Structure 1
Amino acid sequence: MKKTLVLTALACLISAPVMAKTWALTSADSATDLGNWKVTSNMLKVKNQNFSIEQKVLHGGKQEGSKVIIITSKDGLTITLSPSRGMNLLRVEGYGVRMGWDSPVKEVVNPAFMNLESRNGLGWLEGFNEMMVRCGYEWTGHPVTADGQIYTLHGKAGNTPASQVEVEVSDSAPYEIRVRGLVKESTFKKADLQTMTELRYVPGSNRFALHDVLTNHADYPHDYQIIYHSNFGKPILEAGARFIAPMESISPFNDYAKAGLKEWQNFAGPTKGFDEMVFNIKPLADENHHTTAAVINKAGDKGAAIQFDTRQLPVLTLWKNTDTEKQGYVTGIEPGTSYAYPVTIEREQKRVKQLQAGQSTQFDLTYTLLHTSGQVDDVVKKIGEIQGSTPIEEIETPIAKE
């Protein structure tokens, strides 16, 4: 038995036909929305896995009307994402470990209550609490006014509700779950960038994958940028925690970060008065162009790792924000096409990419929640093999100045 739902022609590019059951949760084209919805492994008559997928519509405060989708695997992970907020991942939990952090922003803020141009283009911060937020795609980085407009902090995709959302579950073992959402950045006389996001998860596993396809639907070429802003706090982040990644070089984002260059790999505990320190990294990759970056706790038995393709995402940003817990004690591992400088600087330094009319590009990342010392050791070994004998160049001067 095969049930299919074709969202767009682009969906056909994302995955080949599989034996699966599919549910359309949202469709702007047909003005439909299932609202509160749930399916379980019992309902699907799956006997050797225990999982559920649920959509909830939230109420109260600035999250009024926001939606979340929660994938729960009894022997694996609980993954929470928000179709209302660009299909961002809010948090991932399992095995007594969490990927995510505690932001002062507690609600899943509905973009209807956001003003990205407030605070001189920093309004994005009023909804920022995700484990992973897509910063892009029309632009990303720090805010700047240029070309007669305000390029607000980290673009608009992360505050754009998905126009179409569907859930798919394979009919056979290992019963892979796929959640897809179409995020449109379409503006008259400007951009028509559309991203089909996809999260893939096998119940019982400690990892999941993202597969995003960005397409320029306009008749003209258009620039694009993306940073996968991936954020981790306690229990992984703590005094003595470490960041590891194979790299050719690392440099401070600005003069303030220069003071922390020699300690880039190590994290402090919550420190009042600590401003954010950001570092620009040029990663190394293996023969398949894959690389891995990770943050691990002091004991070396918990962590989070991200694997990505450096042909798709050639640069890496490390964001250290070890301020107080109430202020937001967090670090970010951020694979991207660009660093976090304003788009004007990224253009000057030729890191802004472009899609021709009708052209598509894709981004593939795998996130692993590390919950044993053996898993941590495996990641440390993999990163060490990629690094090999290549020395890490610590460049003391920032590559740009805002």
Structure 2
Amino acid sequence: MPWRQTPNVRSVYSAAGRRRVDAKISNFQQVASLRRYTLTEGGANGLRVLDCDNGKIRFLLNESKALDIMQLYCEGKNISFVSKNGFKAEHGDFLQRFEGGMVYTCGLDSVGAREGFPLHGTLHGRAAKITRAECSNRGIFVEGEISDTALFGKNLLLKRRIYSDIGSDTVTLKDTLVNLGFREEDYCLLYHVNVGYPMLDEGAEIRAEIEEAIPRTAWAKERAAQRSIITAPVPEEEETCYFLRLKEPCVSLENKKIQKRFSLAYSGDMLPEFVQWKSMASGDYALGLEPCTTKLDDGFHYSKIAPNEEISFRLRLSVTPLD
């Protein structure tokens, strides 16, 4: 099951071996670390970053952009997609600023393309207030709050918690949406999880228990037989998008070239819809795995959150060896 507790990778700083290991290191940063810094060059100037390394998995968090996961590495190899735009501090048109990143959170006002709203909403552009940043033998814990408010309007707070055990192959993201206002509010969420080279490469395959795959466009329908297969990059190849109905809220990408499996598990009860976006275009080579609260296009609908209500969502990102 996607949320069954699995044994942790044995840490070099495990409780059982703590006394022995303590004699071999003088600083815990030899084992794991959490560093906070501000980027200073080009369009990224001013972005605040939390750089987290548990000894096996390294993940960068964008404090300036909703505490989203910028990049993910496993044993030094990149897992995430970063677009040619790179990471930028400024805001602008979506296609000129979309960086990809390991997790790009869309909402709370809109997801997808809808008239009168920016593409994929405004949540990602909101800075987080960090309330906890800890790295110790208990693990790495980062917590923050992202506000979405309006005068005479909504008063929503997204409380985000990202954590990983020392030496683990997994990073878990838990969001709790809170309505601090005095009226019922609309919301929507889509987690744009983006995989890139070398995790994404020719011959890799998408694995999931799929009950139905509905192509979004005529081109996607024509390419349906290759929906789960990663091909070589093709110049100016049109993207494909599919709306998937999954038996279990878990999907993975398997790459035999590097003998790795990237897995995404999520809270399917609160994220009942799933979108697969695949771009095999040269220079825009990416796979998007996107659990969400709503269908897109004509099927879009808002969810409701009552005053003082709290609603939680979870993602679990793992990188494991192929069996």
C-alpha RMSD of matched pairs (Å): 2.3
Counterpart of 1:334, as a letter, is: E
Measured in 2, the distance between the counterparts of 1:312 and 1:100 equals 24
- Pair 1:297 & 2:255 matched: yes
1:246 maps onto 2:206 in alignment: no
Q: Give matches, 1:2-401, under 5 Å.
A: 50-74=31-55, 76-106=56-86, 108-110=87-89, 113-115=90-92, 118=93, 123=94, 125-142=96-113, 144-145=114-115, 150-169=116-135, 173=137, 175-285=138-248, 291-299=249-257, 301-325=259-283, 328-341=284-297, 345-347=299-301, 352-370=302-320, 372-374=321-323
Percent identity reads 20
| TM-score, normalised relative to structure 2 | 0.87
Q: 2:260 is aligned with what amino acid?
A: K
Deviations 1:128-148 (A, max 9, x none): 231111111222111x22xxx
SS in 2 for 1:329: strand
Rounded to whole Å, the distance in 2 between the matches of 1:192 and 1:270 is 44
Separation in 1 of the partners of 2:153 and 2:231?
Answer: 44
Question: Runs (4+) of structure 1 moved beyond 4 Å?
Answer: 44-49
Give the 3 Å change call, closer, same or farther, for CA 360–273 of structure 1 in structure 2: same
Corresponding residue SS for 1:257: helix
Task: List gaps (5 residues or longer) in structure 2.
Answer: 1-21
Tell me if structure 2 keeps the 8 A contact 1:138–1:193. Answer: no
Contact 2:177 2:310 in 1 (8 A): yes
Q: Deviations over 1:156-206 (max 9, x none)?
A: 111111134421345xx5x22110110111112332221001101111111
What is the deviation of 1:247?
2.1
Indicate the SS of the match to 1:151. coil
Give SS of 1:256's match.
Answer: helix
For 1:48 and 1:104, how far apart are their aligned partners in 2? 32
The DSSP-based 3-state class of the residue aligned with 1:84 is: coil
What amino acid sits opposite 1:50 in the alignment?
V
Count the aligned residue pairs.
301
Distance 1:363 1:267 in 2: 29
> What CA distance in whole angstroms lies between the structure 2 residues aligned with 1:165 and 1:152?
29
Determine the C-alpha separation between the residues in 1 that align with 2:312 and 2:185.
16
Q: Which amino acid in the other structure matches residue 140 of structure 1?
A: V
Aligned partner letter, 1:244: R
Give TM-score scaled by structure 1 length: 0.70
Give a deviation string over 1:326-350, Cα, whole Å, max 9, x none. xx21001111112343xx6412xxx
Instruction: Say whether the 8 Å CA contact 2:158–2:178 is kept in structure 1.
Output: yes
Q: Is the CA contact 2:34–2:134 (under 8 Å) kept in the aligned structure 1?
A: no
